Structure 1
Amino acid sequence: MIDIEDLVVRRGGTDVLRGLSARIGEGEAVRVAGANGSGKSTLLSVLAGVTAPDAGRVTVAGRAPTDPAVRALRGHVQEPPPLYDHLTAGEQTAFTAAVWGVDARRLRERAEAFGLGDRLDVLVADLSLGQRKKLGYVCATAHDPRLVLLDEPFNGLDADAERAVRDDLARWRSEGRTLVVVSHADSSVADLVDTTLTVGADA
């Protein structure tokens, strides 16, 4: 599913990732670990096609991460989530459903299942951090992706929402989907992943 060869990403003249090579197979669940500033979120950004490598080669399903065909099979749960502050939460789900061509009612019901039922008429700008996190998760996975990239997926979630996310991840694992999870705490995802990929300037 994912092949990384001698990946280098620089920020301000400093190598955030240097010479990273790894392979993540179809259906594998991987935790990305490393110290603060080691490039964990940067790696996800490269896999999501947002950040271009300065050197090396990265492919997702045999294609460049920026390839439109890869976009359709990938979901990127970002920290913080990229939402439109001027929309209501309900409008955000409707917009997302239109972008992905999925059933808007089903996506709205999914938001309600994550405890957002009484917040759908509230502007995104006025949602709490945890509510924004839940909405971002629902929208990022609206199209039921084969590959899910998750950046600290449990930060800011209440117990019910965390349980719902865990249920999703467990279901996706059972269906053979590929998961790449950034998490500072190994204990929070130990039961959800197969292996750990440690990153850093010298990885």
Structure 2
Amino acid sequence: MDGLSLAMTGPGIYRVAGSNGSGKSTLLELISGFLHPWSGKVRLCGLDASSPQAREVRSVCRTSPALYPSMTVQDHLAFAAQSRGVGRDAGLSRLEAYGLKDWAEQPASTLSTGNQRKLWILMCTVADTPIIAIDEPFNGMDSQGTDALISELHEWASRKIVVLVSHTVPEQLAVDHSFRFQPAE
């Protein structure tokens, strides 16, 4: 990503596509503040992405879920809500739409790969932030989860910046802006 200049200035879905190794996930990590650019700046709502204050304006959902095997689905959501300073119901109220209501009392270790992804998305997006960055959310997702996520993405895009890193997107997902990254030569 040499010489990249990118501005996402208004609500909508900003899809970032490209082949493996082109920098899509690196962009997500720059938005998360975990990686720092070698030169230049990454700013979110006027804040440096690596500043503690930037945590309040972004929700980041990486590709691989990081779940505690023995914690239940509802315990994960309560933990995520508490860590983001939101009410406990913020994630629990979305369980049914994603098809996880019957799994609420089950430990994460008993969930399928798709259900783990659903739980991870719910956890990562529990806070109402103006920026959501989400990496390959449709991988392993069943139709109920895909429909629920598409519905939420459209709702979020009406008032938030949604950065969607994805090789493919479902037909029913309306993308407002699309960027294609090319691998470095």
Same fold (TM over 0.5): yes
Q: Are the aligned partners of 2:44 and 2:57 in contact in 1 as well (CA < 8 Å)?
A: no
**Paired residue for 2:167, among 169, 184, 190?**
184
Is 1:75–2:53 an aligned residue pair? no
The size of the alignment, in residue pairs, is 185
- Gapped regions of structure 2 (runs ≥ 5): none
> Which residue matches 1:38?
22
Cα gap change, 1:59 to 1:106, in 2 (>3 Å): closer
Letter in 1 for 2:24: K
TM-score normalised to structure 1 length? 0.83
Q: Are the aligned partners of 1:31 and 1:189 in contact in 2 as well (CA < 8 Å)?
A: no
Which has more strand, going by share of residues?
1
TM-superposition CA deviations, 1:19-47 (whole Å, max 9, x none): 21111112132110111111101111110
Letter in 2 for 1:25: T
Is 1:21–2:5 an aligned residue pair? yes
Cα gap change, 1:196 to 1:89, in 2 (>3 Å): same
Q: Are the aligned partners of 1:183 and 1:189 in contact in 2 as well (CA < 8 Å)?
A: no
Task: Report how far residue 181 of structure 1 moved.
Answer: 0.5
TM-score normalised to structure 2 length? 0.90
- Gapped regions of structure 1 (runs ≥ 5): 1-16
Cα gap change, 1:105 to 1:29, in 2 (>3 Å): closer
Task: Report how far residue 103 of structure 1 moved.
Answer: 2.0
Q: Are the aligned partners of 2:90 and 2:127 in contact in 1 as well (CA < 8 Å)?
A: no
> Which of the pair has the greater relative contact order for Cα pairs under 8 Å at 6+ separation?
2
